[in-house]
Structure 1
Amino acid sequence: MQRIALLLTCTLCASLAQATPLFSAGDPVTGKAMVEKQCISCHAERFGGDGSAIYTREHRLVKTSAGLLTQVRNCNTNLGLKWFDDEELHVTRYLNDHYYKFQK
Structure 2
Amino acid sequence: MKRITALLLLLTTTGLQAAPFPDGQATAGKALFDKYQCNSCHKDMLGGDGNAMFTRANRKVHTPAQLIAQIKQCSGNVGAHLSAQEEQHLGAYLNRYYNLK
Shorter-chain TM-score tier? 0.7 to 0.9
User: Is 1:26 paired with 2:24?
Assistant: yes
Q: Deviations over 1:39-78 (max 9, x none)?
A: 1122122222231121111111112222112111222245
Q: Deviations over 1:8-42 (max 9, x none)?
A: 8963435422x234312100001011112211122
Counterpart for residue 54 of structure 1: 53
Gaps of 5+ in 1: none
- Please tell me the root mean square deviation across aligned C-alpha atoms, in Å: 2.5
Gaps of 5+ in 2: none
8 A contact 1:69–1:92 mirrored in 2 = yes
2: CA distance, partners of 1:73 / 1:20: 23
2: CA distance, partners of 1:34 / 1:8: 40
Moved more, 68-77 or 55-64: 68-77
2: CA distance, partners of 1:63 / 1:73: 16
SS in 2 for 1:41: helix
Structure 1 pair 37–47 and aligned structure 2 pair: CA distance change class (3 A): farther
